[in-house]
Structure 1
Amino acid sequence: MSCPSFDVGETFGALLVGSVHDPSSMVGIIWCAELANGIGLVASLYRMVITNFGHPERLVFFPTSLLVSAVMGTLVSVIVPGFFTFRIYALSKSLWIPCLCWAILLFRLIPECVIVLGFGIHEPIHTFLERWGTMFNAIWGASAINDLLIAGTMVFLLYRHRSGAMDDTAAIVDKMIEWTIETGVLNSIISIAMLSVFIAMRDNFIWMAFFVVVSRIFSNSLLASLNSRAAFRSANHLTFVASVPNSFPRATNPVNITVEMTRTTYEEGTAKL
């Protein structure tokens, strides 16, 4: 019985290109943005709960450090989905969905940064939220839909490539699909929760707890995705250890023979690595 036709180059080759296209500069930018985000949050909390302790009347404007922290968090929340969108392009070789996703990401990045830095510094908190609340609803709602679109497209593309794969290869694809669903759905849930709380309770800062967590979720999903490549390499590299009895009478320990194998598929009598 011949094995089913399976082009590794057009399936896992494309996935490999998308997986390794992660220059160290992107990881460095994420790390610096998260560091600035954390420093800004600590500085803001110190000013609000220590410096201005017992003087709530002073908390009329957003602390500048908090606004800078928000911009850094937004930067992370745009770069990471942009990276996953590039993976969609690497798998599909089509620009329709990637361009749509990148357009939504720009819609989140540019207006949010302009509003936060251009008006958040000079406008009182209550006025700022009343004036720009509807815009933030649209931005965060579009971002939540974008997260679902990215995750759904990745799952569809992986499942389409799985149909022609052998059992062991299909198991790797199933693991990829599982991780894609976990990370994508979690990002969307956090974004939807933040948007829901912001709409229902705009007069308090409960929504900011979700806003702070969003960037952490995105950065962790990126690191988990990059670290998962080692597991995929191990799954695609088989090692067998066989114990062979020694024929010499004085030897008491068996001889261990280790054979390392990599998967090879065949199509019409031609081997493809």
Structure 2
Amino acid sequence: MSTPVVPLDLVEVDLNDTIGAMQIGSLFGVFLFGIVSLQTFNYYSTYTDDEWANKVMVAIVWLLEIGHTLGINYEVYRATITLYGQPWLLVRFPGIGAVTVFGGAITLITQTFFALRLLKLLPRPWHNIGLVCIVISFIRFVVSVYLTVEGIVLPNIDIYREKCKWIVSAMFISSAFVDIAIAVSMLYYLARQRKQVKRISRLLDRLVTYTIRSGLLTSIAAIVVILCFQLMQDNFIWLGVYTFVAKLYSNSLLSALNARKELRADIFKGDSLAPDHFTMPDLEASGYTREDTSRSFEPVVISINTAGNRQDQTPDYLDMDKRSRIYHAM
């Protein structure tokens, strides 16, 4: 049997920022997958009466995460065990290439979920920002399918980088753009409502904090991948970061779904016009309908003044309508 020829320029390979970067990224990805699984369990335990579309969406995301995690860890096993002692053979990453489409699908689902909130929440014509975000995210998913094929077919990562460099950069730039557009649009709307309706300022502050937290990590991760991919061509740090980016999106989506019950309860907290537990099944059981919560309420509250005379007071209709609108956007 002939002895394999080792290229002299590849004998000296820094394992810290190549295999080491992939391993650290994959370990962090497995940790995040554990959180995804826990959030999935909490969702199905808490929201037993939720819409079937949400339940299917969560199941699809979790299954995609399983495939993504297996593909990434297969690549780490191949690099550290199958090709042990032969780092110069690390020129192809078919496992990571194969799961690129899984990450693209997770990103599409998550960004579409938040973009639909903009469609429901923002007034015309600004609600079209959500539609634009959905279109961009879908195009990004199509690009991820193309990159999956190229990642499997191309024989060398240097060829992949040379051929797909601008495509990979455009894909992650679009991700960051959509995340930032959704977060900024939501923050702008919530800031305007906070000035107009003081009664729900505490709730809006919580929503602002949550919006920043949801969009910040994913957009930062996408930007880091771009910078590492463009500026660090001699190592795999960009691959290490890429291995867990999809899991940031999954956790963002699931945390948004699981936070709804508490946020919805706060929308009408202390208000006699709505139940304490403001979920749709509870509303319907109490005589409310979806139509009731989508329009302004017009009740009359009767009170007695200090002189003993009856007074009819009208609550803040605008305030109630704003809260109903925020409820339906969740």
When normalised by structure 1's length, the TM-score is 0.76
Which of the numbers 130, 143, 152 marks the counterpart of 2:184?
152
Moved more, 48-57 or 25-34: 48-57
Q: Is the 8 A contact 1:78 1:105 kept in 2?
A: yes
Q: Following superposition of structure 1 onto structure 2, how do residues 184-263 of structure 1 map, counting pairs within 5 Å?
A: 184-235=215-266, 236-238=268-270
Which of the numbers 100, 106, 111 marks the counterpart of 1:70?
100
| Cα distance in 2 for residues equivalent to 1:73 and 1:146 | 16
Q: Is the 8 A contact 1:84 1:150 kept in 2?
A: yes
| Cα distance in 2 for residues equivalent to 1:146 and 1:262 | 33
Which residue number corresponds to residue 84 of structure 2? Answer: 53
Which of the numbers 87, 91, 97 marks the counterpart of 2:129?
97
Which residue number corresponds to residue 135 of structure 1? Answer: 167
Q: Which residue type is aligned with residue 69 of structure 1?
A: V
Q: In percent, how many aligned pairs have the same letter?
A: 28
Gaps of 5+ in 2: 1-49, 279-296, 301-311, 321-330
Deviation for aligned residue 1:111: 1.5
Which of the numbers 114, 117, 123 marks the counterpart of 2:146?
114
Query: Aligned in 2, Cα 1:223/1:98: closer, same or farther, shift over 3 Å?
Result: same
| Cα distance in 1 for residues equivalent to 2:144 and 2:261 | 36
**1:188-229 Cα distance to aligned partner (Å, 9 max, x none):** 111111111111112321001221221111111111111111
Moved more, 99-108 or 46-55: 99-108
Q: Which residue type is aligned with residue 123 of structure 1?
A: P
Query: Aligned in 2, Cα 1:119/1:223: closer, same or farther, shift over 3 Å?
Result: closer
Q: Which residue type is aligned with residue 220 of structure 1?
A: N
Deviation for aligned residue 1:136: 1.2
Query: Aligned in 2, Cα 1:136/1:162: closer, same or farther, shift over 3 Å?
Result: same
Which residue number corresponds to residue 15 of structure 2? Answer: none
Moved more, 120-129 or 147-156: 120-129
Q: Is the 8 A contact 1:137 1:195 kept in 2?
A: yes
Moved more, 115-124 or 182-191: 115-124
Q: Which residue type is aligned with residue 134 of structure 1?
A: W
| Cα distance in 1 for residues equivalent to 2:137 and 2:221 | 17
When normalised by structure 2's length, the TM-score is 0.64
What RMSD in Å do the two structures reach over aligned CA positions? Answer: 2.8
Query: Aligned in 2, Cα 1:165/1:129: closer, same or farther, shift over 3 Å?
Result: same
Q: Which residue type is aligned with residue 31 of structure 1?
A: W
Gaps of 5+ in 1: 1-18, 240-259
Q: Is the 8 A contact 1:238 1:262 kept in 2?
A: no
**1:80-135 Cα distance to aligned partner (Å, 9 max, x none):** 01110000001025452122212221231112221222454233111111111112
Q: Secondary structure at the match of 2:93?
A: coil
Q: Is the 8 A contact 1:61 1:121 kept in 2?
A: no
Query: Aligned in 2, Cα 1:20/1:189: closer, same or farther, shift over 3 Å?
Result: farther
Q: Which residue type is aligned with residue 70 of structure 1?
A: T
Compare the two structures and name the one with the higher strand fraction. Answer: 1
